[in-house]
Amino acid sequence: MSASHESATHRQWGMTIDVDRCTGCKSCVIACHAENNVAVVGAVESAMGRIVHWLRIEPIHHGTYPHVHMDFIPMLCQQCGTAPCESVCPVFASVHTHDGLNAQIYNRCIGTRVCANNCPYHVRMFNFRPPQWPEPMNKMLNPDVTARSEGVMEKCTFCVQRIRRGELDAKIEKRADAERALTPTYDGEIRPACVQACASEALVFGMLSDPDSTVSKSLARNRHRSVLVHNEHDTRPNVVYLRPDRNPDVLEPANLPVGQQQHHATEAHATPEASPSPAATQSPTATQSPAGSPTSVGSPSIDPTPSYPTATPRVTASPSAAVSVSPSPVATP
Amino acid sequence: MSHQNLNFRAAEISIPEIFDACFEPIGKSGWRSNIVIFLSLCAIAAAGVAFAGQMYYGLGQTGLHIPVYWGVYIITFVFWIGVAHAGALISALLRLCGAEWKSAVTRVAEVITLFTLPAAGSFPLIHMGRTELFYYMLPIPNNRLLWPNFKSMLMWDVFAVSTYLTGSVLFLYVTMVPDLGIARPRMKGPIKTIYTLLAWGWRGTAEEWKRVMEAASLYSVIILPVVISVHTIVSWDFAMQVVPGWHSEVFGPLFFVGALHSGTAAVFTMLGLLLWTYPSFRKLITPVHYDMLGRVWLVLMLAWAYLFFNDFMPAYYAHEPDKMDYLYYNAFGPYAAACWFLVIGNFALPLFCLAFQEFRRSVLPMFVLSIIVNIAMYIERVFIVIPGLEVYNGLTFNTIPYTASVTEITIIIGTFGWVIGGLTFFCRIFPILPYWELAETKARQVDVDLAGVKVAYFHMGE
Amino acid sequence: MKVCAEYEDQLTAFKAHRTLLDNGANPEEIELRSPYPLSEHAVPPCRSKPMVARNIVRLMWLCGIIGGFSFLTFTQLEWGLTAKTSGQPLVAVPINAIPMYECGMITAILVNTLMFFIETRRYRQLVPPLEEDLPVANGYIALVVSGEAAKKAKDWLSESGARSVVSYALPLFFLGTMMSGCATNNMRYQAALKPLEVAADLPPERSIRMPSKAEAEVAPPQPFGWLYRGDQQAYDRAKEQLDNRKKEIDQAVKDGKMSRPEGNREQRRFQSEFDATADDIKPELWALKEKAGVPAELANLKSPVADDAASRERGKKLYTINCQQCHGEKGDGKGLVAEPLGVKPAAVGDSSYAGRSDGYLYHYIMIGKNQMPTFGYRLNTREVFDIINHLRELQGKPVGS
């Protein structure tokens, strides 16, 4: 990361998702649809595989019958620090904002869909048809959010309209002072729709680069079970998943070869960490993982501001692994 | 300096007869070419209707869905780019190698490039969600200082394809100037006007001949790196992404050699079509040319096969999980039959057939073989693009396989019509066989009797 | 006596031939000739210096192959050796390398084509005559007339103007197309010249028209209007001063009167005068453009729209829509999007702008300035003056109140 990212004024919104708490009720999905004017594509298009979700629930099955257990992973845009979608867009429709969001500019998008191919999380959605809403639903569209036209990409924005509204409120009340240098808003004042709707409070949102925020405290408390999904592409996601204690194999690579682990450890050491950020100094990074992952012992943080565990275990896309997320298309006739 | 070739001899007719054979179809219509052009126009019209429908109803007309964002449009883009490489290979490479037999096939290959490159370049635009905003990708100065992303490999495509199109059109044009100048006084009507405008006052002095040959050599040198860059950059569209089946180092050379393989096959297809459409060309395109070009094809096919299997062998030895899934999905998945047709049609069948000289020399079997290879190479591109996206759904809720829709297939057939019909129509206006190169080869040929064996010897100047 | 005329195509030559025959010329005295070689001669006479040319060509071919493949190799993503460099590529190819590479190749191709036509131009024109008395100059069909018919031919040829035009018409056509294309870029001036016709009455429609001749004399259209160079002389003067100052500094360093500061340009944050370049004085240079800007008619123009409350209300609404995002709500130049702009938006609400005439503000709102876009397409004259009235109200108040 560049020097400016390590300065004290670097702002980074982030989220922690406690997989242990998620009940899979999907109220976050409904809230996301209602808040962000996500189009309803209808039964026919949905059967063709064009359903649009900014946030979806990935069910994960464990064990064999009758000892079956199920976990749910809410999968949304990870707002990557080094996003693969940003570098490939030919027209700069996918850009990084000053507060660490991965923004999609709908007016600029020409629909090459290369960003969606390059997204390891499959959270970028394309509008194949002009957006439509059934009769009563068209009266409850959110005026703060643009309705995306046909032919553009869209994705989770961390409810950027709520973030901007909160910042404007703070500005109107002249709240800016030295204590809240990173963001003038109160901690917990801004909550995206999914966070607001989550009954079990599995989702926590806030300023990751502020060590006193709820999300940072939640992360520091649960550092031993924090996981960055698909960080093997060095995407540096800002959504941190908290592995369930009762079943720590969730989000754990089953058969990660030893050579690859060492390779990742090498990468972590090679990442420059010139001047540690205040957040990194306040929350010590030497926390060792009780899960016993050999790579996380004693290695320094690779992400400067939210001191994530290094060389995090990853979720493989392999159907042969124990984490079988969805049935493989090989098995699909 | 002399160049001996024990097999090749120039056409057995005199130079005025060569002229007549080259310019025989100009300005005339025959029932065979009429059929080809009519069918092509029908295909183009249907594609126009389909594209209008897609513009009106949106990309929902295609068979694309959420994990498979790139479909048969991109496959056809890669296919046409590959076919377009025929022009560079035949004309530039053979010209630099000093192959005397190249004359009969150079311009056919260049004209194939002339028509396939626009067909290829149209597909990224057709496949875009908002085609009307394609100019966002052009670096036009504007008030807001918004520039395209030069880091994006799609931008590299824009540069590479436009460079190659410009270069190949100029290459074709400059080597055609002598023919236009020579034939201008003998033409009539609007064709004479066209030749007059395009010949730029060609007189045929010794200095002009010298310059046009130097220019052709320089074009050959310049266009080869361009060709390599074009298809390497097209391969980077895939190789620069994180999709497991795509993220491969060997894609650059694999795409390039595969392009030459399919481009040569396309030249054979078009030659067969031309020989059927315009019978006068049979005097000039002889089995000897088929034999020589068939040998080149054999070598290119072997190079392609090495790189193709090389793509999978290291992954197999290492047992990298993602790549192994991709491999098993290809070979034993729902598309296993197509996969094995790919291997047989691209590798085993040409290897067996092209090894025999009698096969290489016969026109109709080569035509059939070239069509089989074209289909197999198309399937190879399908296997590059589609399974990579379908396998790569570790965290996806969607496992619906991709099927091309009627709209997509109609538009693709329309581009086939554009290429075939365009080539046939081109033959009615411009000489598709380079008269001056054929006549030059004929004039430089010296027959020598070597112990009872008749050998052609080509005089290379003073 | 012989007369020779050239025709650029055979048809014209045949027509002339027929005309002379109709006028009673002797057919034996008329002859049509073509410089084109017959088909059996239409092959290149020789290949000059085959060895040298071919060796050069082969060398370049080799260089192209080696360069292309090494370029391809060094930019590979997971090349084997990169494991020892922590994943970094061995040769750092800049991100713009591929567009640069392609631009280089297309330049080579275009230059090759141009050189071919330029080089052969001479041989297409200046060739020795086929016969002593037959100056077939340009490679066209020649009509040779001798004897009695020559007089008739002379009369007829002087009327018909048998000249070849194609060689000249094509370049002239392209040149004219390009020149006319330059003129159409000049849209800002057309918008700026609107008040000359609408100042008395205020038509509501938004029309864009070409300037008349009188208007063009007042503000002559410049090619490439979007570049908007401004006062070129002032720019050159400022640049010359800067260069002189640099020379003085160099001399002072050489004499030991000054010493160079440590660190590079970024570490010094451009504060040192050692680092001054033409880019650093850009704001001043842009300020110099004002001198070139406002037409004389507009310099002292009074607003034709009455400065009443309704106008100010309308102006405030329009200002909020069109101007506020850059110039700020109070006109202090600190709008939402002002931060990343290279040239900061003007504090138009500041009292220092109260001295500017209405015509001055009108001119720059209509045509735009620096980064500011043209609003002549969006606003009509009444709306612009409404905004100006609102600006006067802002300028009356102290900024920040």
What's the rounded Cα separation, in Å, for the pair C376 and C358? 16
The mean-pLDDT minimum among A143-147, B280-284, B343-347, C157-161 falls in C157-161
Residue A146 has pLDDT above 50, yes or no: yes
Residue whose pair of structure tokens reads 């009307």 in the numeric block: B132
Cβ atoms of A274 and A6 within 8 Å: the answer is: yes
Share of chain A above pLDDT 90, in %: 19
pLDDT at A289: 36
Residue C168 has pLDDT above 90, yes or no: no
For residue range C335-347, what is the model confidence (pLDDT) as tens digits? 887 877 777 888 8
Residue type, B42: C
Cβ of C109 and B170 within 8 Å? yes
pLDDT at A15: 93
Is C43 touching B (CB cutoff 8 A)? yes
Greater model confidence, B110 or B457: B110
Q: Give B147's contacts in chain C (Cβ within 8 Å).
A: none
Residue A324 has pLDDT above 50, yes or no: no
ipTM value: 0.81
**In angstroms, what separates the C-alpha of C373 from chain B's closest C-alpha?**
7
Q: Give A172's contacts in chain C (Cβ within 8 Å).
A: none
At residue B317 the predicted structure's pLDDT band, cuts being 50, 70 and 90, is confident
Q: Give A152's contacts in chain B (Cβ within 8 Å).
A: 129-130
At residue B89 the predicted structure's pLDDT band, cuts being 50, 70 and 90, is confident
The mean-pLDDT minimum among A294-308, B104-118, B307-321, C17-31 falls in A294-308
pLDDT at B377: 92
The mean-pLDDT minimum among A1-15, B103-117, C111-125 falls in A1-15
Cβ of C36 and B204 within 8 Å? yes
Residue B23 has pLDDT above 70, yes or no: yes
Neighbouring subunits of B (3+ Cβ pairs under 8 A): A, C
A263, A202, A236, A262: which is closest to A22 by C-alpha? Answer: A202
Interface-testing mutation among C123, C141, C343, C371, with chain B (most B C-beta atoms within 10 A): C123
Cβ of A45 and B60 within 8 Å? yes
pLDDT at B384: 86
For residue range B386-418, what is the model confidence (pLDDT) as tens digits? 887 876 655 556 677 888 899 999 999 999 999
**In angstroms, what separates the C-alpha of A276 from chain C's closest C-alpha?**
21
- Dihedral of CA atoms C185, C189, C190, C193 in degrees, nearest 10, equals -170
Greater model confidence, B157 or C305: B157
- Alpha carbon separation from B188 to B192, B195, B423, B429 (Å, rounded): 5, 10, 22, 11
pLDDT at B77: 94
Interface-testing mutation among B149, B155, B221, B459, with chain C (most C C-beta atoms within 10 A): B221
- Alpha carbon separation from A97 to A105, A308, B136, C242, C342 (Å, rounded): 11, 21, 21, 38, 18
**Mean pLDDT for the stretch of residues A193-203:** 92
- Which of B155, B393, B398 lies nearest to residue A90, judging by beta carbons? B155
**In angstroms, what separates the C-alpha of C139 from chain B's closest C-alpha?**
6
Residue B49 has pLDDT above 90, yes or no: yes
pLDDT at B244: 74
Interface A-C, measured as beta-carbon pairs within 8 A, has a size of: 6
At residue B86 the predicted structure's pLDDT band, cuts being 50, 70 and 90, is confident
pLDDT at B1: 33
The number of beta carbons lying within 10 Å of the beta carbon of residue B60 is 22
Question: Per mean pLDDT, which of A273-277, B398-402, C349-353 is the most reliable?
Answer: C349-353
The number of beta carbons lying within 10 Å of the beta carbon of residue B222 is 24
Interface-testing mutation among B242, B400, B407, with chain A (most A C-beta atoms within 10 A): B242
| The model's pTM | 0.67
Residue whose pair of structure tokens reads 């040929």 in the numeric block: B445
Q: Which H/E stretch holds residue B298? A: helix B287-318
- Alpha carbon separation from B166 to A233, B125, B140, B300, C82 (Å, rounded): 38, 18, 19, 26, 36
**Mean pLDDT for the stretch of residues A228-240:** 84
Cβ atoms of B214 and C115 within 8 Å: the answer is: no
pLDDT at A332: 35
Greater model confidence, B262 or C82: B262
**Mean pLDDT for the stretch of residues C48-71:** 57
pLDDT at B372: 94
Cβ of A127 and B129 within 8 Å? yes
What's the rounded Cα separation, in Å, for the pair C193 and C208? 9
**Mean pLDDT for the stretch of residues B333-355:** 88
At residue A273 the predicted structure's pLDDT band, cuts being 50, 70 and 90, is very low
Residue A14 has pLDDT above 80, yes or no: yes
Cβ of A75 and B395 within 8 Å? yes
pLDDT at B19: 82
Residue A2 has pLDDT above 60, yes or no: no
For residue range B93-109, what is the model confidence (pLDDT) as tens digits? 888 877 778 888 889 99
Q: Which H/E stretch holds residue C315? A: helix C309-322
DSSP string, C215-237: HHHHS---SSTTT----HHHHHH
For residue range A58-110, what is the model confidence (pLDDT) as tens digits? 887 776 777 777 788 899 999 988 888 888 899 989 999 888 899 999 988 99
Q: Is the dihedral of CA B247, B251, B252, B253 positive or negative?
A: positive
Q: Give B331's contacts in chain A (Cβ within 8 Å).
A: none
- Looking at chain B from residue 380 to 439, which residues have their Cβ under 8 Å from any Cβ of chain C? 435-436, 439
**Mean pLDDT for the stretch of residues B330-338:** 83
Neighbouring subunits of C (3+ Cβ pairs under 8 A): A, B
Burial class of residue C13, CB neighbours in 10 A (0-12, 13-18, 19+):
buried
Greater model confidence, B207 or C74: B207
Residue C62 has pLDDT above 50, yes or no: yes
Q: Give A132's contacts in chain B (Cβ within 8 Å).
A: none
Cβ of A321 and B393 within 8 Å? no
Kind of pairing between the strands at A55-62 and A69-76? antiparallel
**Mean pLDDT for the stretch of residues C320-337:** 86
Is C86 touching A (CB cutoff 8 A)? yes
**Mean pLDDT for the stretch of residues B195-221:** 77
Cβ atoms of B424 and B440 within 8 Å: the answer is: no
Residue B168 has pLDDT above 70, yes or no: yes
What's the rounded Cα separation, in Å, for the pair C392 and B361? 89
A112, C223, C310, C255: which is closest to B157 by C-alpha? Answer: A112
Residue B90 has pLDDT above 80, yes or no: no
**Mean pLDDT for the stretch of residues A183-201:** 88
Distance of CA C10 to the CA centre of its chain: 40
Strands of the sheet containing B453-459, edge to edge, are B2-5, B453-459, B445-450
For residue range C260-314, what is the model confidence (pLDDT) as tens digits? 666 655 555 445 555 555 445 444 544 544 445 666 667 777 777 788 888 888 8
**Mean pLDDT for the stretch of residues B201-207:** 69
Q: What backbone torsions phi and psi does residue C146 show, to the nearest 5 degrees?
A: -135, 165
- Average pLDDT value for chain A: 72
| First vs last C-alpha separation in chain A | 46
Q: B303: left (phi > 0), else alpha (psi -120 to 50), else beta?
A: alpha
**Mean pLDDT for the stretch of residues A144-167:** 90
Question: Per mean pLDDT, which of B69-83, B97-111, C164-178, C299-313 is the most reliable?
Answer: B69-83
The mean-pLDDT minimum among B230-234, B332-336, C389-393 falls in B332-336
pLDDT at C88: 52
Interface-testing mutation among A55, A57, A107, A110, with chain B (most B C-beta atoms within 10 A): A110
**Mean pLDDT for the stretch of residues B24-45:** 90
Burial class of residue B40, CB neighbours in 10 A (0-12, 13-18, 19+):
buried
Cβ atoms of B96 and C57 within 8 Å: the answer is: yes
User: Residue A69 in 3-state DSSP?
Assistant: strand
The mean-pLDDT minimum among A173-187, B277-291, C101-115, C379-393 falls in A173-187
- Average pLDDT value for chain B: 84
